[in-house]
Amino acid sequence: MESKAIQRLQFPAMVYSDKGGRTVPSGSLNMSCGFMEHKKLRVFVSVPSVKIQQRNLPLKIACSCNKVPASTLKSESFKTPLSEELILKSKSKEVEPYLSGRCIYLVGMMGSGKTTVGKILSQVLCYSFFDSDTLIEEEVDGTSVADIFKHYGETFFRDKETEVLRKLSMTHRHVISTGGGAVVRPINWKYMHKGVSIWLDVPVEALAQRITAVGTNSRPLLHSEVGDAYTKTFMRLSSLFEERSQAYANANAKVSLENIAAKLGQKDVSDLTPTAIAIEALEQILGFLKSEDGYC
């Protein structure tokens, strides 16, 4: 079912090491848990078995959830205190029996950290990670989201987004970072509620600061306002949040960065580490699953 749902997940042969530490290519390697790269999409992969067809040599395969710190991400440069890493791992072990392989969908405004937090969750849970926007870009021959909006329009993009979510809803053990507007279509919630959906709620002021710092060229919905970069970004984000806030509230659980900061004694949500946010996400996931099962 899953291979039919997303046919693009056909990865090339990987490598393994023999007893002497030599790197040897394999004919067919399915990693039980690890990091693989497909075209432009980096994917954390979780597959049930390991198969070697050409050579019968011992394997040395690092499982990301056991041997790689959750904060060690090639796309990020943050450092996480050891205590947070231990809490994260402990919390993931507590969540796993209740999660039972269900997908996790991260929803929230653009710039809320869905991709960064999603990768941390995927590593510690030994799940695969997908960014829905990246999958849409691949569906349109590598065209960027900004260019899809420009040349095909938002309706075309939303149709592709719904199709991607439909396919992902038929799979298991994935963490999916969704686009900021994925919540506006009720049909998308039908697909996302087959898993567990988490809303990353970040103050608009913090979002505007983040996005202004990196630029808005890749954000097609932020190109209509006039004024200085921060002001126009803040104004447009405020408008989008007002339009979408009720839709975000459809998520199974909410992770409020303001609440995390208050709990940790932080004055600024920008001082929170991604791992601290991931820990809160696991806490909220656990709370939802327990309530769903009638434990609280």
Task: Determine the pLDDT at residue 80.
Answer: 59
Residue 29 has pLDDT above 80, yes or no: no
- 241 contacts 221 by C-beta, under 8 angstroms: no
Residue 65 has pLDDT above 80, yes or no: no
Look up the CATH number of the domain holding residue 284: 3.40.50.300
Percent of the chain with pLDDT over 70: 67
Task: Determine the pLDDT at residue 227.
Answer: 62
* 34 vs 129, higher pLDDT: 129
Mean pLDDT of 153-173: 97
- 114 contacts 108 by C-beta, under 8 angstroms: yes
CA 92 – CA 65 distance, rounded (Å): 10
Considering the domain boundaries, does residue 23 fall inside one? Answer: no
Helix, strand, coil abundance in the chain, percent, nearest 5: 50, 15, 40
Considering the domain boundaries, does residue 105 fall inside one? Answer: yes
Question: Of 88-92, 101-105, 209-213, 235-239, which range is least confident?
Answer: 209-213
Query: Which residues, other chains included, contact 209 with Cβ-Cβ below 8 Å and sequence gap of 6+?
Result: 230, 270
Task: Determine the pLDDT at residue 233.
Answer: 86
Considering the domain boundaries, does residue 242 fall inside one? Answer: no
Structure tokens at 181: 């507007």
- Find the domain containing 151 and state its range: 82-202+252-293
Mean pLDDT of 196-212: 95
CA 131 – CA 43 distance, rounded (Å): 9
Query: For residue 107, what are the β-bridge partners?
Result: 199
Considering the domain boundaries, does residue 168 fall inside one? Answer: yes
Structure tokens at 119: 């990768």
Percent of the chain with pLDDT over 90: 61
Residue 217 has pLDDT above 90, yes or no: no
Q: For 94-152, write each residue's pLDDT tens digit.
A: 999 999 999 999 999 999 999 999 999 999 999 999 999 999 999 999 999 999 999 99
| Number of compact structural domains in the chain | 1
Residue 39 pLDDT grade (very low, low, confident, very high; cuts 50, 70, 90): very low
Considering the domain boundaries, does residue 221 fall inside one? Answer: no
> Which residue has 């994260």 as its token pair?
88
For residue 5, the one-letter residue type is A
Residue 237 pLDDT grade (very low, low, confident, very high; cuts 50, 70, 90): very high
Task: Determine if residue 268 is left, alpha or beta; phi over 0 gives left, psi from -120 to 50 gives alpha, anything else beta.
Answer: beta
Residue 62 has pLDDT above 50, yes or no: no
Considering the domain boundaries, does residue 246 fall inside one? Answer: no
Task: Determine the pLDDT at residue 231.
Answer: 86
Task: Determine the pLDDT at residue 295.
Answer: 66
CA 149 – CA 224 distance, rounded (Å): 13
Residue 90 has pLDDT above 80, yes or no: yes
CA 178 – CA 130 distance, rounded (Å): 9
Considering the domain boundaries, does residue 207 fall inside one? Answer: no
Considering the domain boundaries, does residue 289 fall inside one? Answer: yes
Half-sphere exposure for 82 (CA within 13 Å, toward CB) = 0
Residue 165 has pLDDT above 60, yes or no: yes
Residue 216 has pLDDT above 70, yes or no: no
Task: Determine the pLDDT at residue 232.
Answer: 85
How high does pLDDT run on average in the chain? 78
Residue 282 has pLDDT above 90, yes or no: yes
Residue 225 pLDDT grade (very low, low, confident, very high; cuts 50, 70, 90): low
Residue 16 pLDDT grade (very low, low, confident, very high; cuts 50, 70, 90): very low
Task: Determine the pLDDT at residue 14.
Answer: 35
Q: What is the distance, to the nearest Å, from the Cα of residue 78 to the centroid of all Cα atoms in its chain? A: 17
